[in-house]
Amino acid sequence: MSLVISQLINGLQSGSIYALVALGYSMVYGIIMLLNFAHGDIIMVGAYVAWLAMVHLALSPILAIILAIIACTLLGVIIEKVAYTPLRSSPRLSLLITAIGISFLLENLAQLIFKADAKRVPPLITGPSINIAGQYVDFTAIITIVVSVISMILLTFLVRKTKMGKAMRAVSEDMVTAQLMGINLNSTISFTFAVGSALAGIGSILYCCTYPQASPTMGSMLGLKAFVAAVLGGIGSLPGAMIGGFCIGLAEAFVSAVGLSVWKDGVVFAILIIVLIFKPTGILGKVINEKV
Amino acid sequence: MSKYKKEPVKLVPVPSPNIIPERDIDKTPILEVSHLGIDFGGLTAVDDFNMAIGRTEIAGLIGPNGAGKTTVFNLLTKVYQPTRGTIMLDGRDTAGMNTIQVNKMGIARTFQNIRLFKDLTVLDNVLIGLHNEMDYHLPSAVLRLPSYWRAERIAKERALELLSIFDMQDMAYAKAGSLPYGAQRRLEIVRALGTNPALLLLDEPAAGMNPSETAELMENISKIRDTFQIAIMLIEHDMNLVMGICEGICVLNYGKVIAKGSPEDIQASPQVIEAYLGKKKEDN
Amino acid sequence: MKNNEKIIPMPLRYLINIVLFVVFLLVMNNLIVSGTIPKYYAGVISFIGVNIILAVSLNIATGYLGQLPLGHAGFMAIGAYTSALIMKAASGSATIFPFALIAGGLIAALFGLIIGIPALRLKGDYLAILTLGFGEIIRVILLNIDNVLGFTLTNGAAGLQKIPKTTNFLITFIMVGITCYVIHTMMKSRHGRAILSIRENEIASESCGINTTYYKTLGFVVSAFFAGIAGGLYAGNIGILSPSAFNFMKSIEILVMVVLGGMGSMFGSVLSATVLTALPEALRRFEDYRMVVYSLVLVIVMIFKPSGLMGTYDFSLNGLLDKLILKFRGNHTEKGAMPQEKKGEAAVRKKEGKLK
């Protein structure tokens, strides 16, 4: 019983990180129909910034966290401006290949600068374990889940209730018409990237709390899985991304629990393939038909 | 306006509330649509659409913008599956078939927003239309067996012949996307003819053409019908073209048929004048 | 623009290419056997051959079919492991090798079929994701299958060792020649045109009665088949296989070759596969920067020339010869006696000129 609960907590913990990252994928896809492959690598950059801030600049954890989130946000916006904006009217394939290129560029630059070996990130958030129903639960697990849930609530509020959120929804519905209604396309898209990347920054910090390491390729597998989560939930749908994230996290936890942890990655991708075959639009996605 | 002089045609009723030209009455109509309808998420785009087309008829489908004309074409070619009703092609029900199957049964079409294979040559575009006319298999192609050369030679000759309908054989090696707008529309018709259709659907063939190009197109549409002995159904906003070459006309408004008959009947119909032509006459 | 007038008759055109290719093979083979080209460089040349096959085969799916599969390394892995296992079982018998190679290709093609049927029902991005997932699953399976089977098959992360090195320059480049020939002849047939029409406009393609699902699957399966062949050659060249050689990075490396060369240009794929394999060898000192430059080049090419360096241009030796002959003839014929087809071409130019 206690094993089930602890695996459940594990699943929710990694699931909430996946959900945060998946939200970024979904938001960007919703607005410019791009699978932003570089999104996972933003997490990696966030981890390195936190490491640099704490180890080399000897800053306090709080400052390191803030710095990492700001760096991620800026990076997301810069990538959008430099690489994606010039290609906005190009074929989707070119945009997708560019995204893959940016992802590889970030990974290889990190490898060049920081070398391939993992860097140990000092603990960012510490606290006592908490007793829940007779079971001691790690403080970071609680923080991860709580922070993720709060972020998701804020994001939902932002998209549903604010003027900027309305602009984002309008652009994702119809870019041209939104522009005719006086919505500034460039700033709306940049804002979307900023929010998505900030969420990736938060995800990066939470990830470092659980696995205190920074390595050049840490973002690729995390990114791929978050991306699977976004597709599973229905890409473009925010509640879908959250559901997808938790599903993937829990699935992984239970595969590990039954002693098949080496097959964890395989199972995640198998879920992806099965979902794509039977419900290509994911759990909450919409079907978009080409006009003939 | 056109050199082509249209013979007066007598339209006669066939079973169901439809009409086809008298000369086609002995044969099964190439197309018989009854009670066709489609809903898009609660919104009825086309409802209770009935139409029959004779084997050598040129029929028109007109109506104001958004009346559901292109939707009817999409239903006939199974780009959309109908919610209700039946489509009989040459007396055979097309229920459950897809675009490819109805094309093989004899429906070919052009598109309102031109859909050419833009990066390929004009000749290749037509050869793709002739795809199912060639019968060699992949190994014969890879080994370059005589069956490959023969089929390719015949197809190329046929393609150039089809292109010559519109006097386009000289452009065979130009990229389709580089052609002027009017030529692109004509090439789409040639490509459709390549699939050896019994019924050709033309979606606004004269859109973007100037009056002299349109006049030439009218002649060519009639010429195509006469040479290939096929039925042609066209959507068009150019009333000169529609009244000039169509024998039976069907008027659609808000997804419903509001009038049907010969050009003269349509021009006299009060509903049509109210919905559509009335405005047009004021303009003139 | 390509000259479309064919002066040299068809069988002769093939003959010229075949003769030149055979001469190239014999000369290179002599240089390698005699030791004029050192053994190390001969190895590099063989890898160029493997990468050419990988690039031209991915070009079918990416350039001609217009899809973006991200699991090409997965098909390569299947071919490599299949033929390596067969060769190990046959203890390096040279007569078995062609069969091992073809078996690798066929098994890869079978996987291409299995993954292609569901994947090709999906549009663009989803297909990319699905094939990416497939590539990763293949890698995870190669790593862990032994635990499930209970005996040693793929030898996990350590990989297969001591695979008989049965390939050499000649075999590799004969396969390169066959691959390019098959793909070329396939693309210049009704089947190839059907594949191109799907890239250009799928709805129009269906309206022409083309069974798009069939031709998409065909393109995908042929692409996987040759990736499997390339895998077999790779195994025979290097002698050691480990799952990490077939990761997502490898798929991207092949994609870069295709994109850089120009999607839809076989000549471009061959050229960029050659350059991108040879260059890192020439610049071994800059090994660390290789992948950075790769990714930068990919992004820059996409931003400034999305169609790739060669676009869809394909080099044709005979086309060049035709042009030369025409030029030569042009100087010697009078204006009125121009060949019939030349007039047609002039008319095209005139009509195209009207556009401007």
DSSP, residue by residue, A81-134: IIIIGGGTTS-HHHHHHHHHHHHHHHHHHHHHHH-SSPEEPPPSS----EEETT
Is pLDDT above 90 for B195?
Answer: yes
pLDDT for B17 equals 66
Q: Note whether residue B111 is domain-resident.
A: no
Range of the domain at A138: 2-278
Nearest to residue A106, comparing CAs of A218, A29, A195?
A: A218
How many domains are there within chain B? 2
Asked if residue C27 has pLDDT above 60, the reply is: yes
* Contact status, residue B251 vs residue B276, Cβ threshold 8 Å: yes
Residues of C in contact with B213 (CB under 8 A): none
d(CA A172, CA A175) in angstroms, rounded, equals 6
Q: Do A96 and C306 touch (CB under 8 A)?
A: no
Q: Which two tokens stand for residue C44?
A: 């590099």
Say if residue C330's pLDDT is above 90: no
**Average pLDDT, stretch B154-183?**
93
- Name the minimum distance, in Å, from the CA of A184 to any CA of chain C: 23
Question: Are the CB atoms for A186 and A85 separated by under 8 Å?
Answer: yes
Q: For residue C252, give the amino acid letter.
A: I
Least confident of A129-138, B85-94, B159-168: A129-138
CA-based nearest residue in chain B for residue C205: B128
Of A80-89, A234-243, C333-342, the range with the highest mean pLDDT is: A80-89
Q: Domain end: B145, B170, B196, which one? A: B196
Q: How far apart are the first and last CA of chain C?
A: 16
Task: Judge contact between C269 and C258, C-beta under 8 A.
Answer: yes
Nearest CB to C194; choose among B104, B128, B148: B128
**B102 and B229 assigned to the same domain:** yes
The end-to-end CA distance of chain A, in Å, is 56
Q: What is d(CA C291, CA B153) in angstroms, rounded to the nearest whole number?
A: 48
Is the pLDDT at A156 greater than 50, yes or no? Answer: yes
Mutation target to probe the A interface, by most A beta carbons within 10 A, among C114, C129, C288 is C129
Mean pLDDT of the A266-274 span: 86
Which residues of C are less than 8 Å from A100 in CB distance?
70, 252, 255, 298
Q: Around Cβ A154, how many Cβ atoms within 10 Å?
A: 12
Same domain, B97 and B211: yes
- Chain A residue with the nearest C-alpha to that of C134: A269
Give the range among A123-127, A183-187, C165-169 with minimum mean pLDDT: A123-127
> Which residue, of B196, B231, B256, is where some domain finishes?
B196
Question: DSSP class of residue B273?
Answer: I
Question: Could you tell me if B237 and B281 lie in one domain?
Answer: yes
Q: Do A277 and C132 touch (CB under 8 A)?
A: no
Residues B88 and B153 in one domain: no
**Inter-residue long-range contacts of B239-245, CB under 8 Å, 24+ positions, other chains counted:** B239/B62, B239/B277, B239/B280, B240/B1, B240/B214, B241/B206, B241/B214, B241/B217, B242/B60, B242/B62, B243/B267, B244/B1, B244/B2, B244/B4, B244/B6, B244/B218, B245/B4, B245/B6, B245/B58, B245/B218, B245/B221
- Is residue A285 one of the residues assigned to a domain? no
Q: Is residue B191 part of a domain?
A: yes
Which site among C6, C12, C183, C190 would you substitute to test the B interface, given the most B Cβ atoms closer than 10 Å to its Cβ?
C190
The verdict on residue A83 lying in a domain is: yes
Residue C10 touches partner B, C-beta closer than 8 Å: yes
- For the CA atoms of C168, C171, C177, C183, the dihedral, rounded to the nearest 10 degrees, stands at -110
Task: Tell me the pLDDT tens digit for each residue of C52-63.
Answer: 999 999 999 999
Asked if B125 and B159 sit in the same domain, the reply is: yes
Cβ-based burial of A164 (10 A; exposed 0-12, middle 13-18, buried ≥19): middle
Distance from CA of C242 to the nearest CA of B (A): 35
Residue A124 falls inside a structural domain: yes
pLDDT range class, residue C332, cuts 50, 70, 90 = low
Q: Give the C-alpha separation, A268 to B133, whole Å.
A: 46
Domain boundary among B196, B217, B232: B196
B158 and B50 within one domain: no
Contact B118, B176 (CB under 8 A): yes
Q: Determine contact, residues C191/B138, Cβ cutoff 8 Å.
A: yes
pLDDT digits (tens, 9 = 90+) for A198-210: 999 999 999 998 8
Contacts of C93-99 with C-beta under 8 Å, sequence gap 24+, read C94/C166, C97/C166, C97/C167, C97/C171, C97/C236
Report the C-alpha gap between A284 and B145 in whole angstroms.
Answer: 52
**B146 and B280 belong to one structural domain:** no
pLDDT tens track for C245-259: 998 888 988 988 898
What count of CB pairs under 8 Å joins A to C? 118
Residue of chain A minimizing CA distance to B203: A292
- Mutation site, C127, C303, C307, interface A, largest A CB count within 10 A: C303
- Flag whether B29 is in a domain: yes
Residue C296 has pLDDT above 90, yes or no: no
- Asked whether the beta carbons of C81 and C243 are under 8 A apart, the reply is no
State residue A3's pLDDT score. Answer: 74
Shortest Cα distance, chain C CAs vs residue A38, angstroms: 12
Contact B128 C355 (CB under 8 A): no
Q: CA of B197 to nearest chain C CA: how many angstroms apart?
A: 10
Q: How far apart are CA A141 and CA A146, in angstroms?
A: 9
pLDDT value for B4: 58
Q: Find all residues with CB under 8 Å of C53, minimum gap 6, and list them.
A: C175, C176, C179, C226, C227, C229, C230, C233
Same domain, B92 and B223: yes
Mean pLDDT of chain C: 84
Q: Which residues of A touch C122 (CB under 8 A)?
A: 276, 280
Task: Please report which confidence band the pLDDT of residue B65 belongs to, taking 50, 70 and 90 as the band edges.
Answer: confident
- Predicted local confidence at residue C3, as pLDDT: 44
How close is the nearest chain C Cα to the Cα of A75, in Å?
A: 16
Position C229 scores a pLDDT of: 97
A90 interaction partners in chain C (CB closer than 8 Å)? 302, 306
Q: How many CB atoms lie within 10 A of CB C34?
A: 8
Interchain contact A287–B (C-beta under 8 A)? no
Residue B72: closest CA among chain A residues belongs to which residue?
A292
- Looking only at the bridges linking them, the beta strands covering B31-40 and B256-261 are unpaired
Let me know whether B210 and B145 are in one domain.
no
Cα C268–chain centre separation: 10
Q: Are residues B230 and B191 in the same domain?
A: no
Residue A291: predicted pLDDT: 62
User: Percentage of chain B with pLDDT > 70?
Assistant: 93
Kindly list the residues from chain B whose CB atom is less than 8 angstroms away from the CB atom of residue A292: 70, 74, 79, 111
Cα–Cα dist B47/B36, whole Å: 6
Task: Provide the Cα torsion B232, B238, B240, B244; round to 10°.
Answer: 0
Q: What is the mean pLDDT of residues C158-175?
A: 88
Contact A112 C252 (CB under 8 A): no
Of the listed ranges A122-136, B125-139, B254-268, C263-277, the one predicted with least confidence: A122-136
B256-260, B280-284, C234-238: least confident range: B280-284
Contact B177, B146 (CB under 8 A): no
Q: Of A77-81, C70-74, C164-168, which gets the smallest average pLDDT?
A: C164-168
* Strand bridging mode B199-203 / B231-235: parallel
The CA-atom distances, in angstroms, between A45 and each of A18, A147, A189, A219, B201 are 17, 20, 21, 8, 57
Contacts of A30 (CB under 8 A, 6+ apart): A168, A172, A235, A236, A237
For a pLDDT cut of 90, what percent of chain B falls above it? Answer: 65
Nearest to C201 among B98, B115, B173 (CB): B115
| CB C152 within 8 Å of CB C146 | yes
Verify whether the Cβ–Cβ distance C248 to A220 is below 8 Å: yes
How high is the pLDDT of residue A140? 86
The segment with the largest mean pLDDT, out of A224-233, B168-177, B268-277, C342-351, is B168-177
Q: How far is A292 from chain B (nearest CA, A)?
A: 8
Q: Which domains does chain C have, with CATH numbers?
A: 1-34+316-356 (no CATH), 38-294 (1.10.3470)
Residues of A in contact with B79 (CB under 8 A): 292
Check CB contact under 8 Å for B195 and C209: yes
Q: From the candidates C72, C121, C137, C294, which should be mutated to test the interface with A, based on the most A CB atoms within 10 A?
A: C137
Does a structural domain hold residue B161? yes
- Residue of chain B whose alpha carbon sits nearest to that of C215: B138
Q: Is residue A287 part of a domain?
A: no
CA distance readout (Å), A159 to A27, A30, A168, B239: 10, 12, 7, 49
The confidence score (pLDDT) of residue A292 equals 62
Q: Which position has the higher pLDDT, A271 or C306?
A: A271
How much is the pLDDT for C352?
38
Q: Which of residues 331-350 of C touch B (CB under 8 A)?
A: 344-345, 347-348
pLDDT, chain A, mean: 87
Contacts of B194 (CB under 8 A, 6+ apart): B126, B127, B128, B129, B130, B133, B158, B159, B162, C208
Q: Which of residues 38-97 of C touch B (CB under 8 A)?
A: none
Give the residue from chain B lying closest to C183, CA to CA.
B142
CB-CB under 8 Å, B127 with C209: no
- Same domain as B251, residue B178: no
Q: What is the pTM of this model?
A: 0.86
Which pLDDT score is estimated for C165?
Answer: 85
Q: Compute the distance between CA of residue C131 and CA of residue C248 in angstroms, rounded to an integer.
A: 10
Q: Name the C residues in 249-308 with CB < 8 Å from any A CB.
A: 249, 252, 255, 259, 263, 288-289, 291-292, 294-296, 298-299, 302-303, 306
Residue B283 distance to chain C (closest CA, Å): 33
Of C204, C207, C352, the CB nearest to B174: C352
Residue count (chain A): 292
Q: Can you give the residue range of the structural domain that contains B50?
A: 1-106+197-284
Confidence class of residue B158 from pLDDT cuts 50, 70 and 90?
very high
CA A172 to the chain's CA centroid? 19
- pLDDT at position C355 over 60: no
CB atoms within 10 A of CB C51: 24
Quick check: B141 and C190 CB within 8 A?
A: yes
Per-residue pLDDT, C67:
87
Nearest to C50 by CA among C161, C219, C175: C175
Is there a contact between C191 and B141 if contact means CB atoms under 8 Å apart?
yes
> Each residue of B96-120: b (16+ CB within 10 Å) or e?
ebbbbebbebbbbbbbbebbbbebb
Does C134 reach chain A within 8 Å, measured CB to CB? yes
> Which residues on C lie below 8 Å from B120 (Cβ)?
193, 196-197, 200
User: Distance between CA atoms of C215 and C192, rounded to whole angstroms?
Assistant: 9
Best mutation target among A104, A114, A272 (most C Cβ atoms within 10 Å) is A104
| Residue A196 located in a structural domain | yes
Q: What is the CATH number of the domain that holds B247?
A: 3.40.50.300
| Contacts of B282 by beta carbon, 8 Å cutoff, 6+ apart | none
- Per-residue pLDDT of B98-138, as tens digits, reads 999 999 999 999 999 999 999 999 999 999 999 999 999 99
Interface contact C177, partner B, CB < 8 A: no
- Between C133, C288, C291, which is nearest A269 by CB? C133
Determine the pLDDT at residue C149.
76
CATH of the domain at A67: 1.10.3470
Contact C129 A98 (CB under 8 A): no
Q: Torsion angle of alpha carbons B138, C314, A92, B181, nearest 10°?
A: -90
Q: What ipTM was assigned to the predicted interfaces of this complex?
A: 0.88
Per-state percent for chain B, helix, strand, coil, to nearest 5: 40, 25, 35
Judge contact between A114 and A121, C-beta under 8 A. no
Contact A102 C129 (CB under 8 A): no
Residues B147 and B278 in one domain: no
pLDDT for position C208 = 95
CB nearest to B138's CB, from C186, C206, C212: C186
The per-residue pLDDT for A289 is: 57
